[in-house]
Amino acid sequence: MQFELTQDYINQLKVAVAERDDYFIQGRMEELHVQDIAPILIELDDEESYYLFKGLDFETGAQVLREIDPDYRKHFVKQLSIDELADYIEYQESDDAADIINEQPVKTGEEIIALLEDREKAGFIRDLLHYDEDCAGGLMAKELIKANINWNVKQCIEEIRRQSRNVEQIYSIYVIDNSNKLLGRVSVKRILLAEDETLIADIYESEIISVESYRDAQEVAEVMRKYDLEVIPVVNVQGKLLGRITIDDIVDVITEKAEEDIQMMAGISGSTDEDDSIWAQSKSRLPWLIIGMLGGILGARFIGLFENFITLVPTMAFFIPLITATGGNVGIQSSSVIVQDLARDSGPSSFTMGRFFKGFIVAVVNGVAIAGIVLLFNTVLGEEMKQTIVVSVALFSVVILASFTGTMTPLILEKVGVNPALAAGPFITTANDLLGLAIYFTVAHYLYLI
Amino acid sequence: MQFELTQDYINQLKVAVAERDDYFIQGRMEELHVQDIAPILIELDDEESYYLFKGLDFETGAQVLREIDPDYRKHFVKQLSIDELADYIEYQESDDAADIINEQPVKTGEEIIALLEDREKAGFIRDLLHYDEDCAGGLMAKELIKANINWNVKQCIEEIRRQSRNVEQIYSIYVIDNSNKLLGRVSVKRILLAEDETLIADIYESEIISVESYRDAQEVAEVMRKYDLEVIPVVNVQGKLLGRITIDDIVDVITEKAEEDIQMMAGISGSTDEDDSIWAQSKSRLPWLIIGMLGGILGARFIGLFENFITLVPTMAFFIPLITATGGNVGIQSSSVIVQDLARDSGPSSFTMGRFFKGFIVAVVNGVAIAGIVLLFNTVLGEEMKQTIVVSVALFSVVILASFTGTMTPLILEKVGVNPALAAGPFITTANDLLGLAIYFTVAHYLYLI
């Protein structure tokens, strides 16, 4: 079903490139989709990838350029002259072109735009350059079919014919008034089945969901997911039609957000992958390890206060990992549920007192279960009774309190505008390690004094 | 941009329902999209939600039924008679209809299908019932436009006209041969711009990506994401066209998979949310807490072996949380990177010896950094020298080994067919707690003996 890129395949291509075996290369490339060609380039060295790329026709090359991983693309396009790059960009849609131009130095970008023969496209790209990549404007393409509300179907088909070179796929035909204000949409099916003289005004749907250009990419994703849209028109604050965003770009936004959240939960900052340099990978992980380490040092100082106690009752030390691990596990469980709730679109019933109370009951149930099992285990294993009680009481308290901090931390982070997923990672385990130790030794202090 | 459901809004509706104020209710419902109406029903009591729902026209009602959360839907449809349910299903696409019928007892489902006036739809639904919901067949709808390769454009438009009642939105027109084998596609744009007499054979694209009906939903999602498809045709093993899957359903698959992975990493099994019962929530969390607890008990037994050692050198106890926390953090970092790599479509360069070596170097860099900082801290804070060296050497070893187990565990799980995300949660922290303790006490044992 899917093309599987193997080392053998790459070696064959490398040999073919070395031998300038264009017949073999063309044959292989014609079998592939552009999404399969892009990753091949990364596996070749510069001279080889350039040769392979230049063997593609401009249209395919333009699409391959669109699909290449942006980090690698910045490096790859350095091999192309400004004229060459402009030739490919001529075949791209405005959003993809703007992405590539944004990766270039400003001067290079301006030169490329100046070289474009399609002046409409040049204007489109220039419009898109000033949008932030994480907002609706940064995701949209300018190419779309729009029909004036006063037109008839025949005029609309003429417009489609005129635009058909620019627009790869028609999703919807947007209906606008004389001032370019978005009024609604009409489906291609409707146009196809209507008479030439039918007025657009009579067949268009006025109910249409659109987003303003300044909206955050996550918001756009949420709207498109919720309303099952494959394309959404983008308007400015006056409601004038600016462009449209297709679902494929939004799928990437959703996937990247999920990966980012998982990385954040795992204590890895930024979006690094295994292709990044050792230093970049280390830099993305070390801060979180250091936070954990500082927590550990603080924990050591704290336990140090009880040095004499431990000398007298060394069994106290045995259960330290049990206490801290339980606190960490409960904290992560509670916080991740809240993080997901915050990420989802929730009704008014979220975070009511009732929910909090329910969370509290779940914590009590789990706390009783864990503390009870440990009590049983320790009794069976013949641990000293007082120590057994201290551990169980501490465990129960840790489960309740870790559940509380795990619930509150993401809510507070969300309130102050920080990604709440941050709370579901090393942050919460470190906090709960300290919390657990404090509870454990406090409980022990009181119980052993009795 | 989005409708925000508030408690006030719900209260107003409740009053209107109590007063049978149909004018108010209709007015409110007409302003809303079906995706906004569905969550309202959950907030009302049974009698209220039934009244509100029955006030909607059949087409809107059918769409609302599609959008309702399946858990609640099972409960909600019990209020509808079989005849009523059939009336709504008449307005649904086959995939949504099959989902609802699958939620009913087999006999009820059969009765509903028997009641449908649209016999083609009844056949479609029956075809879909036997597919597993997690495979391509379970996601597809049967409604689509297909054109025989021997037709001309006029015949194709006739077919679109005939099917237009069934098909909400035309994505592509699939081209088939006389035996229903999928040959390619032709875009609506092409049909619109072609002459009536043009042959489909002359304008269709033969390059088309399809999936077999038995393919896993995750695979379909990966293909659609990779190739930027908004719809994909589904074929049987002989390549005959069975149906099509639209991207909106795949967006849900992607979102759910991400949520599932995050839950697994957080040590929550199954897909529970805060609406579930206390028992269900507890049941999804408790197993993981118990695994952590057993690890903790084992850890306690292990440390117990060194009881005399701790009595002599109580500072050994101080650094237990630091060691276990660092092992856990490093393990989660390493495993989550591998989990994401496995989830993504990776080229041949994944998991080569080169990658492993790079991961090792990253671990060495981070290990040296963490051990170094702790060495510095402990020296400045005036910890005893031998203890300081033990902690730093153990920390370094823990970082290296936790990084190794974090890398290997998901790879092994993937090999034996278990979701590797399992490895990025409590599983790996528990293992690393024990590993950390073993290293710490072994190092101490050798260093203090010297």
Confidence of residue B337 (pLDDT cuts 50, 70, 90): confident
- Lowest-confidence region among A164-173, A368-377, B309-318, B323-332: A164-173
Nearest to A303 among B225, B293, B317 (CB): B317
A23 interfaces chain B, CB cutoff of 8 Å: no
Report the C-alpha gap between A227 and B248 in whole angstroms: 9
What does the mean pLDDT of chain B come to?
89
Kindly list the structural domains of chain A, giving each domain's residue range(s) and its CATH number in brackets, ordered by start. Answer: 7-131 (1.25.60.10), 145-251 (3.10.580.10), 278-449 (1.10.357.20)
Q: Which residues of B155-175 are buried (b: 16+ CB within 10 A; e: fewer)?
A: ebbebbeebbebbeebbbbbb
Are A329 and A403 a contacting pair, CB within 8 Å? no
Q: Is A243 helix (H, G, I), strand (E, B) or coil?
A: strand
Report the C-alpha gap between A441 and A98 in whole angstroms: 60
Crossing angle of helices B94-102 and B106-115, in 10° steps, is 150
**Cβ distance of A340 and B169 shorter than 8 Å:** no
Report the C-alpha gap between A312 and A240 in whole angstroms: 77
Q: Residue A343: closest CA among chain B residues belongs to which residue?
A: B259
**Cβ distance of B1 and A219 shorter than 8 Å:** yes
Confidence of residue B276 (pLDDT cuts 50, 70, 90): confident
Quick one: pLDDT at residue B275?
67
Report the C-alpha gap between A366 and B281 in whole angstroms: 10
Report the C-alpha gap between B259 and B336 in whole angstroms: 14
ipTM: 0.84
Quick one: pLDDT at residue A60?
94
pLDDT 10s per residue in chain A (450 long)? 568 888 899 999 999 999 999 999 999 999 899 999 999 999 999 999 999 999 999 999 999 999 999 989 999 999 999 999 999 999 999 999 999 999 999 999 999 999 999 999 999 999 999 899 899 999 999 999 999 999 999 999 998 888 877 777 787 899 999 999 999 999 888 888 899 999 999 999 998 999 999 999 999 999 999 999 999 999 999 999 999 999 999 999 998 888 888 888 888 877 666 667 888 888 888 888 898 899 999 999 999 999 988 998 899 999 999 999 999 999 988 888 888 877 775 554 455 677 778 888 999 999 999 999 999 988 998 888 889 999 999 999 999 999 999 988 888 888 888 888 877 778 888 899 999 999 999 999 888 865
Q: How far apart are the first and last CA of chain B?
A: 71
Quick one: pLDDT at residue B271?
65
Q: Smallest CA–CA separation between B107 and chain A, in Å?
A: 32
**Cβ distance of A263 and B230 shorter than 8 Å:** no
Quick one: pLDDT at residue B350?
53
Q: What share of chain A is helix, strand, coil (3-state, %, to 5)?
A: 65, 10, 25
Residue with tokens 């002046």: A119
Report the C-alpha gap between A248 and A258 in whole angstroms: 16
Are A349 and B43 a contacting pair, CB within 8 Å? yes
C-beta atoms surrounding B369 within 10 Å: 18
Instruction: Using an 8 Å CB-CB cutoff, list chain B residues near A425.
Output: 332
Quick one: pLDDT at residue B4?
82
B109 burial level (CB within 10 Å; 0-12, 13-18, 19+): buried
Nearest to B268 among A225, A285, A336 (CB): A336
> Could you report the per-residue pLDDT of B138-156, keeping only the tens digit for each?
999 999 999 999 999 999 9
Q: Which of A286, A272, A326, A166 is nearest to B329 (CA)?
A: A286
A449 interfaces chain B, CB cutoff of 8 Å: no
Quick one: pLDDT at residue B277?
80
Nearest to B358 among A247, A254, A278 (CB): A278
Q: Which of B408, B402, B247, B409 is nearest to B331 (CA)?
A: B402
| Higher-confidence position of B172 and B197 | B197
pTM of the entire structure? 0.84
**Cβ distance of A320 and B325 shorter than 8 Å:** no
Quick one: pLDDT at residue A279?
83
Nearest to A314 among B285, B288, B310 (CB): B310
β-sheet with B211-212: strand ranges across: B211-212, B231-235, B241-246
pLDDT at B242 over 80: yes
Q: Is B240 helix (H, G, I), strand (E, B) or coil?
A: strand
Percent of chain B with pLDDT over 70: 96
Please say whether the dihedral angle defined by the alpha carbons of residues A244, A246, A251 and A252, taken in this order, is positive or negative: negative
B265 interfaces chain A, CB cutoff of 8 Å: yes
